Amino acid sequence: MMMMMDTFSHVAGITTFKASLALSSSSVRSNCVPRLPATTTTKKKKKRTAPVVLAARPRNDAVDFADPEWKLKFQADFAERFNLPHLTDVFPDASPIPSTFCLRMRSPLTENFADGYPSDEEWHGYINNNDRVLLKTIHYSSPTSAGAECIDPDCSWVEQWVHRAGPREKIYFKPEEVKAAIVTCGGLCPGLNDVIRHIVITLEIYGVKKIVGIPFGYRGFSDAELSEMPLSRKVVQNIHLSGGSLLGVSRGGPSVSDIVDSMQERGINMLFVLGGNGTHAGANAIHDECRKRKLRVAVVGVPKTIDNDILLMDKTFGFDTAVEEAQRAINSAYIEAHSAYHGIGVVKLMGRSSGFIAMHASLASGQIDICLIPEVPFNLHGPHGVLRHLKYLIETKGSAVLCVAEGAGQNFLEKTNAKDASGNIVLGDIGVHIQQETKRYFKEIGIHADVKYIDPTYMIRACRANASDGILCTVLGQNAVHGAFAGYSGITVGICNTHYVYFPIPEVISYPRAVDPNSRMWHRCLTSTGQPDFI
């Protein structure tokens, strides 16, 4: 790398405990490649009143805060872990070529360009490889400040920088030699078609002629009955107008070795993988196998999770749509509850291990009296339980609306140890359980209660992306292609502090991102609902 790059990297700051854990977990849960080694790091739950002091550490050794140079050592560790894998790591003699991606107008817009356009460098149409985006923007003055994520006991400020996404002036693939493939894995999510569409459109702008879709997730690499789907702008032009995935989705799939064998046979040298944590684990394993075989292949992920539970990112596509569509279910529950004598509406929303949808939907609607999420423990029964508060609401308001994330309260349900095709534990239905317990409780105390239960999960998943997610999907798809042509592999693209960035996949997949019970957003939700602690 150039000297400028090295200098910038050493002042690149460090990551928080959550990010530094990511690479230390060498094997992670896989949603779509079940033959990968699978371990899951579970985040410990904490009371919302507890101060948050995150003692981040380098990959192997604990930090010695007595060392006056600990920040510099941390910075070096951060720079190493967040350095993006590149084709030149395996092919040091790989020569870049001028980019075939150019957005300059065909005719001058002003008299200043009457004699032609300036050079690309002066035009500033490309992203410099040394550009960075600040990962954290708040300098917390105390570890007891709401939402504080401190590195050391003194809550020192250390800058943390990540690579900016976008088109580069030099590329490492000749478009005429590229065969690009797109695969969508896991469950449905609003915006899948939008991302597919813009990956295809951007590839064509670069000059790629061979673009295919792999049907039904990683399964499409091995199932002889499934043929790859030729893609072009004409094919994808209007697919964003409907929900679902043009390519189909599935869980499970062949081994990583079989997938890479299939890629070699098909001549695929760019692979775009749309999926969540497990799917990205599979993508990273594919990247590693390609490196092991010394294949000139770029593997780029686009994080897809409706739960918004990918580490280090502002949000993932589909989340805004899910929150917006959840309003319909909440409003229906509200109307049902307020139209009945002692009516209680219960709405279950998505969120296996993270309560972002339930929290944001509760805030957005203004109609929720109780919001229950996986990160915050609660009791149903007892003097401080949810049911006792429902009784209070019935007595004071005449009705109540409760919102619960699907992963909340699993300790109340019988565990079966059953798993789906992705290796995910099959959760019990907490919504039905709360409905039944509520009916039983009010019957036992002799108070009439009319309980209605709504589960809009599959209606929300199948929706078309709204405007906000549509824009996010568009830019993510474009930047995924820019990253691949720039020679990066084993990376994923996301939004960080409103800017688009590239992350090494291992840094974002060690475990799901979760709501911080000491965050201002959760405190805002509590203010909105007026609910007490249920413990």
The answer to whether 497 is a known ligand-binding residue is no
The answer to whether 169 is a known ligand-binding residue is no
The answer to whether 243 is a known ligand-binding residue is no
Separation of alpha carbons 402 and 91, rounded Å: 57
The answer to whether 459 is a known ligand-binding residue is yes
8 Å CB contact between 217 and 249? yes
The side-by-side arrangement of strands in the sheet containing 450-454 is: 370-372, 400-405, 343-349, 450-454
The answer to whether 220 is a known ligand-binding residue is no
Pick from 261, 125, 89, 171: which is nearest to 484 by CA? 171
Kindly give, in sequence order, each residue whose CB lies less than 8 Å from that of residue 26, ignoring residues fewer than 6 positions away: none
* Residue for token pair 């910038």: 8
Number of Cβ within a 10 Å radius of residue 258: 15
The answer to whether 166 is a known ligand-binding residue is no
Q: Which contacts (CB < 8 Å, 24+ apart) does range 143-146 have? A: 143/51, 143/52, 143/53, 144/51, 146/518, 146/519, 146/520, 146/523
The answer to whether 305 is a known ligand-binding residue is yes
The answer to whether 3 is a known ligand-binding residue is no
Kindly give, in sequence order, each residue whose CB lies less than 8 Å from that of residue 335, ignoring residues fewer than 6 positions away: none
Dihedral over Cα of 497, 502, 503, 505: its sign: positive
Paired tokens of 347: 């709405």
Paired strand residues for 183: 214, 273
The answer to whether 461 is a known ligand-binding residue is yes
8 Å CB contact between 475 and 199? no
Bridge-based pairing of strands 270-275 and 179-184 is parallel
Helices and strands (DSSP H and E) totals, the chain: 16, 15
* Residue for token pair 């805004």: 320
The answer to whether 520 is a known ligand-binding residue is no
Pick from 205, 260, 267, 252: which is nearest to 233 by CA? 205
SS3 206: helix
* Residue for token pair 């509850």: 337
The answer to whether 409 is a known ligand-binding residue is no
Q: Active-site residue numbers?
A: 307
Separation of alpha carbons 232 and 210, rounded Å: 9
Cα 421 versus chain centre, distance: 20
The answer to whether 187 is a known ligand-binding residue is yes
The answer to whether 307 is a known ligand-binding residue is yes
The answer to whether 251 is a known ligand-binding residue is yes
The answer to whether 306 is a known ligand-binding residue is yes
Q: Provide the residue count of the chain.
A: 535
Paired strand residues for 500: 495
Single-letter amino acid, residue 297? V
The answer to whether 252 is a known ligand-binding residue is yes
8 Å CB contact between 359 and 448? no
Separation of alpha carbons 46 and 218, rounded Å: 37
The answer to whether 270 is a known ligand-binding residue is no
The answer to whether 277 is a known ligand-binding residue is yes
| C-alpha separations of 95 from 92, 163, 174 in Å | 8, 22, 11
Q: Which residues are annotated as a binding site for Mg(2+)?
A: 277
Q: Which residues are annotated as a binding site?
A: 187, 251-252, 276-279, 305-307, 350-352, 406, 458-461
Q: Which residues are annotated as a binding site for ATP?
A: 187, 251-252, 276-279
Q: Which residues are annotated as a binding site for substrate?
A: 305-307, 350-352, 406, 458-461
